[in-house]
Amino acid sequence: MRKLNEWCCRLSRRRLFPNHFFHSVTGIDIKRLVVFSRNAVQSTKDYRLLLPNVKQLSVHQCRSENRESIQEVIIQNYDYLEVSPYIRLSLDHYLLMNSSYIKMQHKMSQRKVNRFIRHWIQGSNPRLKVLEYWGLNKRPKLQKILKGIAYQVVTGDHVRVFDIQGYTPYTEADVIVDSGYNIQRVDGTQATMHFRDHHRIGFRLFLLVWN
């Protein structure tokens, strides 16, 4: 099979790709597809033909209320998935995702992050290895994120290392898990919620699923 390491696809209102262009590249194994679009209709209608062979997908799209079209995109099995905050996603959209690494929009409330994790504990998103959430508050509201979740506090004498680089297309150092909260899925799978400050403007929450 022909392979393509990375393809940045820029779509605009004025310049539309003809349908035969997308058909011509269908079947190529694409490691990473990055979509920059100002034409919400064409982007989801046409580039979805490529998705069965895409491993990592980043969608940077204009403001769109067309949730049905984006739903057809996000349900594919990716190694990595991120969707621009300009595309409004609900909690139900995230529960439909079946990707290994999900980068969650910062517009999702911390209460909804809590609900996502509780659904994961009960069996949703079975392929998930990493959930990344950016919070714009300087500190996470732990009472909201941890509400209703059974956990054990990570202590400094039980440090673990998570190889995050194996899942994200970006250059990331291994995550040193020296703090956080250990949780367990109904099938016995272990995971850790780990928080990090980020450039004094907010925090990053990682849900790291251990093998």
Domain count within the chain: 1
pLDDT at 150: 98
Q: Which domain holds residue 52?
A: 19-210
For position 10, what pLDDT does the model report? 58
Which pLDDT score is estimated for 23? 56
Of 78, 87, 91, the closest CA to residue 169 belongs to 78
Whether residue 6 lies inside any domain: the answer is: no
Distance CA 5, CA 63 (A): 28
pLDDT given for residue 66 in this prediction: 55
Pick out the chain residues at pLDDT < 70: 1-27, 37-46, 61-68, 138, 199
CA dihedral 111, 116, 120, 121 (to 10 degrees): 10
pLDDT digit string (tens) for 61-118?
Answer: 655 545 567 888 899 999 999 988 878 889 999 999 999 999 998 888 999 999 999 9
pLDDT attached to residue 134: 85
Provide the pLDDT for residue 39. 54
pTM: 0.85
